[in-house]
Amino acid sequence: MMARFFLIVLLSFPVLFIQAQTQFYDELQQLLQKPEYIQASVGILVQDKETGKKIYTLNSDRLLIPASTMKMLTTASALKILGADYRFENQIGYTGKVNKNGILDGDLVIIGGADPTLGSEYFQDHYHHFLQHWAQQIKSAGIKKVEGDLVMDASVYDIEKIPATWIWEDIGNYYGAGANAFTVYDNMFRISFHSPKKIGELTEIISTWPKIQGMQIENEVRSAGDNRDNAYVFGSPYDKIRVVRGTIPANRSAFTIKAAIHNPAEVLADDFQNALAQNGVFVSGEVVFRKTERNALQVVYVQESPTLSEIAKVLNYESVNLFAEHLLKQLAVEKYGIGNREMGIKLLKEYWQGRGLDANDIFMEDGSGLSHFNAVSPRFFVGLLRSMSNDRAFMASLPSAGEGTLNHFDRNLFPGTTLQAKSGSMTRVRCYTGYLKTDSGKELVFSIMVNHFSGSHSALISEIGTLLLALKSDY
């Protein structure tokens, strides 16, 4: 009777028995017993990509903060719903008539198409001197003077500047810029400082770019002995007062930090007017923000973005929050005609629910993962990645070891596309989700999510690298 009971118990836990014999299992147990992880929330799921067989599971149905791994869900959804060849479009045109003297009795109009990459430093070749090109297109249309206004039509998106759950520490900095119908220059401006030799002394702001009319910056940044940028920009997206606090390295003639532009339409309008003037085209009226009747518009030029597959690759390689927020809103644009974050989330959930994933495994507040209110289970992420494993654009968007946000992983240990994943990090959160090819030729899908740990990120990155190496050799 006792032998029969022992056999039943043994057969009831075959996965646990196998795990106990692996290097991965042993390494993980050692990790979880360290003081900095004992009270942490940890969720892990590893599956065979083709069969779905579970290799290892720990709290795989637990909802955890994903940080930037949320971008994989946004990217996958956009590629499936909008298509890899999808492009954003900004339209430049006019209303009224142009007389024989080149005078436009009407308005010059830009219809914002919510292109997240317009003037982006990530796509400089695509947008080489784009404002000059726009101005030349207007000039080629025979326009020398505009009697009316420069109209900026931002009606493609709603009026929300940033998601409501983003925190004060983030929203003033470049990574806290929100999606906008007139996003330009990555919705980012630079602040350059001179720092004195003496540690602890107040720095001096020497320049800002691009220029933002009415911007007031209160500088509280001091020089420090370390070599890091520890300066943070604070301010509401609804005003132009910014306070910069923290430290930058001492004895620098010019040290630059990056801040968010929350009203990029104003910057774009100013720069476009300057480009027009340089090409001999002058606007008599003012810059106004209103919707334009499409049937009254004479389109002069359509500026197309790079393809969605190109945008997705930069988004996931460099973890660009702004691009992710645009993709989420653009789902709603194509369905409802207006970009709205909540409607985008609803569409996204419905799409994956219809393809067999459980939408109850997601709490989603944004597209980038910057919100601390997001939560996703490892189970959902692994299911998502298994379903996307044959999507070329999605797979190409994920960095390999030594690239993008996986630059901490040694490409000699994970050669080629052995490891393709997305990282996610914020204070006390570190996550990795992706694909791993083992030494035996198997292909695995994994999600490792660690929340509320007390140790350093660099240490945990190294330890997760050790886990992935063990997993690679075990299977």
| 393 and 319 belong to one structural domain | yes
Could you tell me the CATH number of the domain that includes residue 447?
Answer: 3.40.710.10
The predicted model gives 330-334 an average pLDDT of: 98
Residue 3 located in a structural domain: no
**Is-contact 72 316, C-beta < 8 A?**
yes
Distance CA 432, CA 437 (A): 15
Q: Which residues constitute the domain of residue 278?
A: 89-158+266-305
Per the prediction, the chain carries an average pLDDT of 95
In a domain, 8, yes or no: no
Q: Domain boundary at 305, 329, 360, which?
A: 305
pLDDT per residue as tens digits for the range 39-67: 999 999 999 999 999 999 999 999 999 99
> Same domain, yes or no, for 217 and 281?
no
pLDDT in tens, 197-251: 999 999 999 999 999 999 999 999 999 999 999 999 999 999 999 999 999 999 9
pTM of the prediction? 0.94
Confidence of residue 2 (pLDDT cuts 50, 70, 90): very low
**Percent of the chain's residues with pLDDT above 70:** 96
Query: For residue 201, what pLDDT is reported?
Result: 98
Would you say residue 163 lies in a domain?
no
Q: In this predicted model, what pLDDT tens digit does every residue of 153-165 receive, in sequence order? A: 999 999 999 999 9
Query: How many alpha carbons lie under 13 Å from residue 7 in its C-beta half-sphere?
Result: 4
Q: Is 90 exceeded by the pLDDT of residue 333?
A: yes
Give DSSP secondary structure letters for 371-431. -TT-EE-HHHHHHHHHHHTT-HHHHHHS-BTTSGGGTTS-TTTS-TTSEEEEEEEETTEEE
Which of 284, 305, 326 terminates a domain? The answer is 305
Confidence of residue 374 (pLDDT cuts 50, 70, 90): very high
Question: Residues 271, 317: one domain?
Answer: no
Q: Which of the four pLDDT bands, split at 50, 70 and 90, describes residue 34?
A: very high
What is the maximal distance between C-alpha atoms in the chain?
105
Residues 296 and 190 in one domain: no
Same domain assignment for residues 223 and 177: yes
| Span 346-375, average pLDDT | 98
Strands 103-105, 145-146: pairing is parallel
99 and 62 share a domain? no
Domain presence at residue 457: yes
Query: Among residues of the chain, what percentage have pLDDT more than 90?
Result: 95
Residue 115 belongs to domain with CATH number? 3.50.80.20
Do 126 and 275 sit in the same domain of this protein?
Answer: yes
Residue 465, pLDDT above cutoff 80: yes
Residue 400 has pLDDT above 80, yes or no: yes
- In this predicted structure, what is the pLDDT of residue 425? 97
pLDDT of res. 28: 96
Name the band, by pLDDT with cuts 50, 70 and 90, for residue 7: very low
Average pLDDT over residues 353-368: 97
Residue 180 pLDDT > 60: yes
The domain total for the chain is 3
How far, CA to CA in Å, does 269 sit from each of 96, 150, 260? 20, 8, 17
Q: Are residues 110 and 77 in the same domain?
A: no
Residues 353 and 456 in one domain: yes
> Is pLDDT of 8 > 50?
no
pLDDT at 9 over 50: no
Q: Are residues 343 and 467 in the same domain?
A: yes
Q: Are residues 297 and 151 in the same domain?
A: yes
Q: Is residue 4 part of a domain?
A: no
Considering the domain boundaries, does residue 98 fall inside one?
yes
CB contact set of 198 (below 8 Å; sequence gap of 6+) = 223, 250
Q: Note whether residue 251 is domain-resident.
A: yes
Supply the pLDDT for residue 21: 63
9 domain-assigned:
no
Say which residues have a Cβ less than 8 Å from residue 424's Cβ, sequence separation at least 6. Answer: 66, 67, 68, 69, 70, 71, 369, 430, 431, 432, 433
On whether both 253 and 347 belong to a single domain, the answer is: no
Look at residue 16 and tell me whether its pLDDT is greater than 80. Answer: no
Among 197, 228, 260, the domain boundary falls at: 260
pLDDT of residue 1: 42
